[in-house]
A and B are shown apart, each in its own frame.
Chain A
C-alpha cells in the first residue's frame, strides 16, 4: 500500500491525489510510515516546488481578541465576533477581510505550552525546543528552507522581513545548520521623521547593491575576481575552497538576476500596495508574495515590534486599542497575501503558519491589559496541505483551559512539515554530531488536507 502511494505521486502529483494520500494517512497510516515516501515523491517532482510563510507575531498576540473570542463572558473583553465565510466559524470584528478568507484557515485553539517568558517562548515556538542545553536548534524556517530550497535558485531560500530578534537572537538563526540556511534579512530603513510612519515601509535587502559602483566597475571587479579565484582553485582542491567558490558564484548570480527585482516594491501599482497596507507587515506580505513568485522557498514576515511608536502584541495595558490596530494591519496584509497567492495558483503550494511566542491571559488586568499566558492559546495554519475553514480544538468558556484538541508546539511544527511535504523526522546532524529531527511531535491529522 505504501508503495502504491509513492507510485501515485511519482506518476502525477496533483492536488486530488495529495488529498487521497492524506486521507489514507488519516485512516491509520502512521506518519513515520508514509511521510518519507510522500516527501520523497513531492521533492522528486521539480514542478511541485513548495513554499512556506511564517507570520511571526512578536510579543504574544491575544487569542481572545483575534481567533478565540469569548462573547458573553467577563474575560471576553470589548470586541464583537463576526461571521466568516465558513458557517459557524467566527473571528474578531476587526478582521473582516480575513473572515472572508476563512475557508483557507485552520484555527488551532488548543495550543498549550509552558514558556511564559518572551525570550524562552520565542525560542520554543520558533525552534520547537526549550532554550538551554548544548544544541543550537535552527529556527523552523531555516529547517524547512533547507528541505524545500534549491541550490540553483537565484535568491536566498529563506528570507525574513524585519524580524524583531531582541527577545532571543538565537531563535532567529539557522543554529547548527549554519549560515548557509540562515535567513537573509530584509530590514526596514526607518525614516528620521516619525510623521512618515504611515508611508509605505521602506524594506531593503542588505548589501544587495554594490556600494557606489557602476555596472562597468562591477564587471571589471568580477573579471579580476575570477582570475584570482581560478588560480587558487586550480592548485587547491580542498573542500573549503570549493565551498567558497560555490557560494560566491551563487551570490553573484543573485546580484545579477532579474529575480532580485522582487525586492523593488515600488514597481507595484499603488492600488496593490494599499491593499496590503502601508506598514512593515503589509508591505512585508507584499514582498513575501513577490518572493514566492520568484521561487523563494521560505519567507517570514514580522508583525509587532518594540521600536519607536509602532505597536506590538505585548499588551499588558490598553490591550483593546493596541490589538485593534494590529488586527487591522494583520487583516490587510494577510488577506491580500491569501488573495494574491490564490489568484496566481500559488496558495496550493504555499503553507502559512501564524503564531507568536505565547497567548494572553483571559482575565483582563487593572490596566485594561492582558498578561502572558501559555496554557491555552491559538495559532493558525493556512494554504497548501491544510484543510481550511475549520477550528481544531476548544478552550473552556472562560478561556482558561484547553478542553479538546490540545496540541503542543512539536505537533504544530510537525503538521507544518507534513503539509509542506517534508518528512518531519528527517534528521540533521548537530554541531556535536547528534542526529536531530526537524520537528518532534505528532501530525494533527484533522488539520491536514
Chain B
C-alpha cells in the first residue's frame, strides 16, 4: 500500500463519525425485544413479586431516587453531571474498553438529541467490542494474573468462550452453570479456569465461591472463619463438589488436557482423615434423587431460583465495574458483617436482575443510564465519602484498556481493538499480552494506581508508546500531515484522540509554542506533534477513567 493511500485511510478513520463501533438498527431492536420477552417471562412466573419497576428506564430512575434520598438524609449535595466529552470517554472505556475515536467524539458533541447518552449506551452495548471487553474483565478476575507466555492459548480459549457467551447475552445464571460443568481441553474454553487451579478442589472451591457467590470462604479452609459464619466443614463440603474432576485424554505437558468427571474422589477435613460429602453453602445436601455428576448438581443449585448468592454477587460486580467500587466492598465479600452502602438499592437491583432473567447487558444498561454513573468526577472542597456515589470515582485504566486506547488513538498498524472489524479472536495478540504482563497490577481495585518505576519507564521510553508517537509507525501522525489542516486543528485532533476533549486554552498555547519552536529549529512537525502525543499518553488524564 502506498503511503498516500495509507494516509488517506488513516485520515478517514480519524475523522469519520462512529468509525470503529457500530451496530445495525436491527441488532439493537432484536436485543431490546429479547430483553422485553425475558422480563415478561420472569414476571409471569413469580406471582408473589411485589410491584417493582420492570423496565430498565424505570429501574434506572428508581436507583437515582433511592440514592437521592440517601444523599438528602446525609445532607450531601446532589452531584453535578459530567460534561458530554467526559461521559463519552468514560462510558466507552467502561463498556467497550477503549477510548472513542476522534470521529465519535465530534459526532457526539455535535448531537443535539436529548436522548443521545441513552442511545450511545445502547450502541456501545451492541458493539462487538462490548462482549470482548467484558470477557477480558471476567477472564482477569477468574484466572490468576501473571500467567506465563505458554498459557496464551489457554487464555485465548477462555477469552473466546466468555466472549461468545457475552456476545449472545447468555443468561448470567446459565453462564455460571455452564462453567460449573465445563469439560473440554484447557485451550477450548473454560477448561483453563480448572487447570489454572490445578483441578484442586480447595482452590476451585475458594475461587468459585469468591467469584460467583461473592463469598470469601477460603479462610475457613484451615480453620473456622474468624469473623464470619463459615466453618471449616462448610468450606470442605463445598469443595467436595469439585472432588471428582480429573484429567483425561492425551496430555502433553499439561496442554490440551481434557476435564472428566470421575466416579470416585473425595475431600477430607485436613489432618483428620474424615471424608466430607458435598453440601451446598448454608443449605441442603444433594438428595439421593439428584442425578448427574457432582459438578452438575452444583450447577443446578447455582441456577435455582432461590439461590441467595449468585444474583447479588453479579449485581455487585456490575456495579463495581462501572462505579469503581461495589455497593459491597470488597466486591467479593458479601457477608452480614460487611453490609452494602445502599441496602435498598442492592436488594432491589438484585431482585430486578432475577426478574429480568439474569440479563447482564440489561443490568449494565440500567446502571449506565443513572445520574450517579453520569456524575462529574471533579470534586469540590468537601468530598462526600466514596461509598455515597455522589461523584464519579476516578479509576485506573487496566493494561488492556491502556494498550487498546494507545493503539486506537494513534491509529497504529497493530493492536487488536484498533481493528473494528476484527471477528476472529482465535489467537491472542502477543504484543498486547507482553505489554499487559509488564503492566499488571495485583490490586483488584481500580481505585489504586500502583505502578512502579519499571512500569512508568515502560510508558515513558518503552517500545509501545515510542512506536505510537513516532511518525513511521503512528497512523495518527501520518494523517496529521494532511495539508488541509492548521496547526491548531492538528493539536485539537491529538487531544480528541487521546482525551476525547478539546484542549484547554493553556494546553493549546503550550502545544502551538512547541510546534513554532520546532519549525524554527528545523525539526520536523511530526516530531513535535509526537512530543505532544507522548505527553498526552503519559498524563494522568489519559491513564485514568474519570
Contacts and interface: CB of A to CB of B under 8 A. Distances in A.
A209 to B, nearest CB: 7
B535 A241 contact: no
B457 A208 contact: yes
B148 interface: yes
Interface in A110-153: 132-134, 136
Contact of A180 (B447, B451, B511, B540): B451
Contacts of A432: 216, 218, 330
Nearest to B455: A179
A382 to B, nearest CB: 28
Interface residues of A, number: 62
A248 B442 CA distance: 19
Given A132-B203, A225-B539, A244-B449, A209 B461 contact: yes
Interface in A207-254: 207-212, 217, 220-225, 227-229, 231-233, 235-241, 243-245, 247-248, 250-252, 254
A53 to B, nearest CB: 19
Contacts, number: 179
B452 A243 contact: no
Contact of B540 (A166, A210, A229): A229
Given A178-B452, A240-B394, A243-B449, A207 B457 contact: yes
A233 B546 CA distance: 12
B164 interface: no
A236 B456 CA distance: 20
B393 A238 contact: yes
B396 A240 contact: yes
Range for the number of chain B residues in contact with chain A? 35 or more
B388 to A, nearest CB: 15
A233 B203 contact: no
Contact of A221 (B200, B330, B394, B534): B534
Contact of B504 (A132, A166, A231): A231
Nearest to A245: B540
Interface of A: 132-134, 136, 156, 166, 169-170, 173-185, 206-212, 217, 220-225, 227-229, 231-233, 235-241, 243-245, 247-248, 250-252, 254-255, 431-434
12 contacts: A170-B146, A177-B442, A178-B450, A179-B450, A206-B457, A222-B535, A228-B541, A231-B506, A239-B447, A247-B452, A252-B460, A431-B444
Given A224-B511, A250-B456, A433-B330, 18 more contacts: A132-B198, A133-B203, A156-B453, A177-B442, A179-B442, A179-B452, A206-B458, A207-B457, A208-B457, A211-B461, A221-B531, A225-B535, A229-B539, A232-B540, A237-B379, A239-B449, A247-B451, A431-B444
Query: Which 9 residue pairs spanning A and B have beta carbons closest together?
Result: A224-B535, A238-B394, A178-B450, A207-B457, A179-B452, A243-B449, A244-B540, A251-B456, A225-B535
Interface of B: 144, 146, 148, 198, 200, 203, 206-207, 210, 216, 218-219, 221, 330, 333, 377-379, 383, 393-396, 440-444, 447-458, 460-463, 466, 504, 506-507, 510-511, 514, 517, 527-528, 531-532, 534-536, 538-541, 543-544, 546
